[in-house]
Amino acid sequence: MTDARRVVVLGGGPGGDVAALRAAQLGADSYLVERAELGGTCLNWGCIPTKSLLSSVDLLRRMQRADEYGLVAKEVGFDFGKMMKRKDEIVTTMRGGVEGAAKRKGVTVVGGQGVVDGDAVVVDGERYPFDVLVVSVGTEPSGLAGIDMEQDAVLTSNDILMLTRVPKSLLIIGGGVIGCEFASLFAPLGTKITVVELLPRLLAEIDERTARQFQRLLEKDGVTVHLGRTVEEIEKYLKSGVRARLDDGTIIKAEKLLVSVGRAPQTEGIGLREAGVEIDERGHIVVDEFLCTANPSIYAVGDCIGGLQLAHLASAEGARAIENALGEQRTPIDRTVVPSCIYTHPEIATVGLNADAAKEAGHEVKLGQARFLGSGKALGEGEAEGYAQIVTDADTGLILGATIMGVHAVEMIHEVGVAIADGFSAADLGGVIHAHPTVSEMVMDAAQQAVGVAPYLS
């Protein structure tokens, strides 16, 4: 432990929370400054509220297919107000957990906008000196040039979580993770959804094959997708919604317009540049491999430093930044094995390199694949769409990554991450006996298929 014993963390999201708690564990005087609610975007406007609503919708999907399970469920419907209330209650419960952890660990929580001023953070005129400052200020939804974001019909990903009723129609600009998750959320509720994406496919983060298959399933849910297109103009902001014209002349009318084109870091106007912190042209804080900025007393973590915008990565960075700042040894943050999860229907999860990325990186790629159609457990759950795909290096047999699309994908991906971290080959992973019947045995089958020993797969 160094002499740096007073830690101030600016931003109370998953990166900042963990940083403040870890600092207290290591014996520092820990202060956590948050201008809004503890938990940040993930807990209040992202991961937790959206997954709470998606859970309700997934149950609705199954109830609507009750006859396939031999069940009789008459007049299946939903109460959107109760869904939103349940969402809010879950958020409140989780936020209370963060507050309780801070109290137990002795972290001082300071409410208000913090501004860096020399060797202190100033909140409402009061100075909080630091030996170490960790910046975890996160991001906010980006607007789009040419669109009046103040119109009632125009929504960000924050605004849409405050709706009091289900819109009859929804135009989503942006076919990335957030846009596709909201499409999966509102389609089963009866909303007529149109997704407009600038790129030639949805979900640029995943491989092309999975993106194509997901689009087919999304369209099966009634969603209309326009790829390689832009919204040229919002011709009218109507009392009942918007009238948009695409660059190919297509006219789309919708009650609500969701702008889902990314998120911008909240790094300006809080004294970072004046403190010697370098900020790049996109507004992200520049850090080294140890998460330290150009000012050796200031570290930064989470979405505000760019790269993968994932709550679990931010938490890992928060802990590592504190350990590097207060410990006697510094360790780089390793981002090679970070799972990414998309909570659409079906779910999509990846870790390591996908098939396309592995080829672009110069690997001779060999794939192992197992379709959920061959899983008795997936069939029993009525969720036979999807597959597990293991990406290996053809020369060494080592696992480079995996993509899983289908039921429970986000729960299954982690064992492949462990396998990559431990240097497993496909043969090693395929040799680990998996319980039957489980959907996760598709991972074993895919690994065995990669080395040609899967008994049921060609």
In a domain, 177, yes or no: yes
In a domain, 433, yes or no: yes
Instruction: Give the C-alpha separation, 6 to 27, whole Å.
Output: 9
Whether residue 274 is found in the same domain as residue 217: no
Per-residue burial over 84-120, b if 16 or more Cβ lie within 10 Å, else e, is bebbeebbeebbeebbebbeeeebebbeeebbbeebb
Whether residue 119 is found in the same domain as residue 195: no
In a domain, 335, yes or no: no
Whether residue 182 is found in the same domain as residue 63: no
Q: What is the pLDDT of residues 373-418, one digit of tens each?
A: 999 999 999 999 999 999 999 999 999 999 999 999 999 999 999 9
**Of 59, 53, 61, which Cα lies nearest the Cα of 89?**
53
- Which of 295, 326, 357 is the last residue before a domain boundary? 326
Instruction: Give the C-alpha separation, 332 to 88, whole Å.
Output: 37
In a domain, 149, yes or no: no
In a domain, 308, yes or no: yes
Range of the domain at 196: 154-261
Whether residue 184 is found in the same domain as residue 91: no
* CATH code, domain carrying 442: 3.30.390.30
Whether residue 301 is found in the same domain as residue 365: no
Residue 300 CA from chain centroid, whole number: 19
In a domain, 331, yes or no: no
Whether residue 255 is found in the same domain as residue 179: yes
Q: What is the pLDDT of residues 227-238, one digit of tens each?
A: 999 999 998 887
Whether residue 136 is found in the same domain as residue 271: yes
Q: Report pTM.
A: 0.95
Instruction: Give the C-alpha separation, 344 to 273, whole Å.
Output: 39
Whether residue 178 is found in the same domain as residue 241: yes
Catalytic residue (one of 312, 363, 408, 436):
436
**Of 303, 1, 288, 301, which Cα lies nearest the Cα of 133?**
301
Q: What is the pLDDT of residues 314-354, one digit of tens each?
A: 999 999 999 999 988 899 998 999 999 999 999 999 999 99
In a domain, 338, yes or no: no
- Which of 261, 282, 315 is the last residue before a domain boundary? 261
What is the total count of domains within the chain?
3
Whether residue 290 is found in the same domain as residue 185: no
- Which of 326, 358, 380 is the last residue before a domain boundary? 326
In a domain, 333, yes or no: no
Report whether 396 contacts 425 (CB < 8 A).
yes
Whether residue 134 is found in the same domain as residue 243: no
414 is known as an active-site residue? no
The pair of structure tokens assigned to 307 is 């790269």
* CATH code, domain carrying 179: 3.50.50.60
pLDDT in tens, the chain (458 residues): 445 589 999 999 999 999 999 999 999 999 999 999 999 999 999 999 999 999 999 999 999 999 999 999 888 999 999 999 999 999 999 999 999 999 999 999 999 999 999 999 999 999 999 999 999 999 999 999 989 999 999 999 999 999 999 999 999 999 999 999 999 999 999 999 999 999 999 999 999 999 999 999 999 999 999 999 999 999 888 778 999 999 999 999 999 999 999 999 999 999 999 999 999 999 999 999 999 999 999 999 999 999 999 999 999 999 999 999 998 889 999 899 999 999 999 999 999 999 999 999 999 999 999 999 999 999 999 999 999 999 999 999 999 999 999 999 999 999 999 999 999 999 999 999 999 999 999 999 999 999 999 998 85
Whether residue 173 is found in the same domain as residue 97: no
- Angstrom CA distances, 386 to 3, 39, 218, 361, 400, stand at 53, 33, 13, 26, 20
Whether residue 15 is found in the same domain as residue 126: yes
